[in-house]
Chains A and B, each alone.
Chain A
Amino acid sequence: MKVLVTVKRVVDYAVKVRVKPDGSGVDLSNVKMSMNPFCEIAVEEAVRLKESKVASEVIVASVGPSQSSEQIRTALAMGADRGIHVEVEQELPPSVVSRALKFIVLKEKPSLVILGKQAIDDDCNQTGQMLAQILDWPQGTFVSKVKVEGEKVQVTREVDRGLETLELRLPAIITCDLRLNEPRYATLPNIMKAKKKPVEKLGLKDLNCDPLHGIQTLSVFEPHKRQGGNKVESVAELIDKLRNEAKVI
């Protein structure tokens, strides 16, 4: 069984992001970029399926700028077999990304597509769901456990009232939650091997995918800074501040 896993290049989760002065978006110059942490979990799960001989091949796909090849290499170093890189320089919403992925799915015919539940840059949480819709495949979202049995996959989902277990018919879409697994480190021998693994480069045109979408970013701004609190020495001072500074009494 083939498994397709998707990865996105995002601002490293430990980086404190800054908004560009003109409010057009987040400043990405000289900022550390990494693989989206939920995608890392997806890759780990796919590689584990291969190690337990459930999967025969793990293909990693990314829709993003030329530097996304670094994240594809990381996934290959973690154990994926080959990569597909759809090179696009502009930022695309899930509606376009899921359409691009649909064409890859039709071409590669995987039995299982594993995605992160959301990307930490735009927090959309839509790509997996949209892909399931346009392929008309069953979907298991926010998954914390995966068990493939024959032509079916059992997934455990973390929902508000507890854990929910679903059984999906393959082929299916899975999106990963944080507790599914702990991703491995890329080791040196595997990084070296990854350099020799094939990565196919495609454009949206090769996939007959239209990059048009109806979303326009109007402005991006930082949340208002919280003013620090301060201690008062006495009740009288507190009342004075409430009356004259905060003007609430």
Chain B
Amino acid sequence: MALGWKRLVKTNNFGYHFVHQFRAVSQISYTRPSKNASFSKLSSEDISYLKRVVTPRGVVEEKEALEPFNTDWIGKYKGNSSIVLKPSSTDQVSKILQYCYEKKLPIVPQGGNTGLVGGSVPVFDEIILNLGNMNRIRDFDNKSGIVTCEAGVVLESLSNFVSEQGYTFPLDLGAKGSCQIGGNLATNAGGTRFLRYGSLHGSTLGLEVVLSNGKVLNMLSSLRKDNTGYHLPHLFIGSEGTLGIITAASICCPKKCRSVHTALLGVDSFDKVTELLVRCKDEVGEILSAFEFMDRNAVELATKLLSHVRDPFSESFPFYVLIETSGSNEHHDMEKLEKFLEYCYSGDLISDAVLAQDQSQMNQLWTLRESMPEAVNRSGKHIFKYDLSIPLEHFYTLVTEMRSRLVEYPCHVVSWGHIGDCNLHLNISSSESNESLSKLIEPYVYEWTCSHGGSISAEHGVGRVKSKYLPMSKDMEAIEWMKQLKQLFDPVGILNPYKIFSQREE
């Protein structure tokens, strides 16, 4: 799901203010679905009841203060909610939902609001339910590494917390400084550790969820294995807030690796990048923890536009690969990695490489990779972001095709991604809004992806951006069953309305 700029967020708790300063101008007119007439309008009675539930500390109503909650990270979508509720307990969430269920008041659940598909902001005037105040770590078991925490804990805080106890949080992504674990779960976020630790479906042992009618479904568990009936928590992971509100989770963390090494490689063709991936799994597979890819255009954009990003090489290469290994023996790991790289170098698989010699060089190499979304944001007012799963054999063809398709337009076509997981982030930015440009891009990108056996959303989710393209990646029968589940869990339809399913199908 979310990618953001770590540095920016670290220096400012309200990172999004910062971001919107230079993104506010970029409203592309997107068609709005029509408003569901069965919802009630928020009355002053409703407001005073809800305020009592969350206490004055948990309410945001001032127009300016509402702005960052109403606007999504890339500044494309803007809702018009007049109230943000920030409950501080599961009980408060339950009371809010019970009330909204009876009164037919629609709700948008929200975490750090760093999502990239417009899923975390209202379409009209839905109540924003921000989980940011539910930020307690309830329990940590030092023997098993199982952490139980509330939905609003910021990913980076959680990651630092478990790290101090000698464990690694299985999820890491660029927006870690502001995204929250509840949002990460609701969108089934992927990120850079996916390659090593797999999906949140695997690491999450249990959830606490408040259902649309206010009932609390306690499925928190600290058992690694528990085959007693249906595994309900999985339904809510990746449901994008449409089936229930995740208020707490128990997640199993792996032990922290004592020895971590990072290298950036310059590669001169895409075929060599894929070859490198295969060899890398062969030679250092057991310690490999990240295999990230960037193209020259993306790296050039970042080093040109962002003063804190530096290209470690003296010459440029068509492709860059960031490799990270995590193991337990510094010497052994370094020797293995060096040997592997020397082998690739002598076999002409890589043109050059740098190996981080200390932690700050390691951080700098990761900064280059994680600053990509920020660089794109600065490169043009109009941005098209795609998060696609594409089989390795076709992985880069789409990027080259888009470049030649858009050759006559002044725009940047850049790409990077978690190539170890076949996940491509294709980004196109242009300084002027151009109808014919957007028509050349969409729906072509999605059609191309599907005809090559890919998915239109690898990790960002569907949200509002991709709802009309959902049938391209999902069978109609499957969509029908998804809708029935939605109907079962949220019969009134108050949870994150107008998301995932496009109205035409509803």
Contacts and interface: CB of A to CB of B under 8 A. Distances in A.
Interface of A: 12-15, 30, 32, 34-35, 37, 74, 77, 182, 184-189, 191-192
Interface string B87-113: 000000000000000000000000000
Contacts of A188: 263, 341-342, 345, 350, 352-355
A76 to B, nearest CB: 12
Contacts of B357: 34-35, 74, 77, 185-186
B360 A185 contact: no
Contact of A13 (B330, B353, B358): B358
Nearest to B356: A185
A13 B345 CA distance: 31
A34 B359 contact: yes
B353 A14 contact: no
21 contacts: A12-B359, A12-B360, A13-B359, A14-B359, A14-B360, A14-B363, A32-B330, A34-B357, A77-B357, A184-B312, A185-B354, A185-B355, A185-B356, A185-B357, A186-B354, A187-B313, A187-B353, A187-B354, A188-B353, A188-B354, A189-B345
B258 interface: yes
A240 B356 CA distance: 54
Contacts of B263: 188
A184 B357 CA distance: 10
Lowest 9 A-B CB distances belong to which pairs? A34-B358, A14-B359, A188-B353, A185-B354, A185-B312, A12-B359, A74-B357, A30-B258, A187-B354
B358 A35 contact: yes
B352 A192 contact: no
Contact of A192 (B313, B342, B350, B360): B342
A192 B341 CA distance: 10
Nearest to A29: B258
Q: By CB atoms of chain B within 10 A, which of A14, A32, A77, A185 has the most? A: A185
B360 A37 contact: yes
B338 interface: yes
A30 to B, nearest CB: 5
A12 B312 contact: no
Interface of B: 258, 263, 310, 312-313, 330, 338, 341-342, 345, 350, 352-361, 363
Nearest to B330: A32
A118 B353 CA distance: 30
Given A185-B356, A186-B354, 8 more contacts: A12-B358, A13-B359, A32-B358, A182-B310, A186-B355, A187-B352, A189-B345, A192-B345
B198 to A, nearest CB: 26
A13 B341 contact: no
A137 B356 CA distance: 36
Nearest to B350: A188
A189 B352 contact: yes
Contacts of B361: 185
Contacts of B330: 32
Nearest to A188: B353
Contacts of A12: 358-360
Contacts of A187: 313, 352-355
Contacts of A30: 258
A15 B361 CA distance: 13
Nearest to A71: B357
Q: By CB atoms of chain A within 10 A, which of B263, B353, B357 has the most? A: B357
Nearest to A14: B359
B311 to A, nearest CB: 10
Contacts of A185: 312, 354-357, 361
Contacts of A191: 338, 355
Contacts of B359: 12-15, 32, 34
A37 B360 CA distance: 10
A185 B354 CA distance: 6
B309 to A, nearest CB: 13
B285 to A, nearest CB: 20
A182 B313 CA distance: 13
Q: By CB atoms of chain B within 10 A, which of A32, A37, A186, A187 has the most? A: A187
Nearest to A16: B164
Contacts of A186: 354-355, 357
A13 B360 contact: yes
A34 B313 CA distance: 21
Contacts of B310: 182
Contacts of B353: 187-188
A162 to B, nearest CB: 25
A191 B312 CA distance: 15
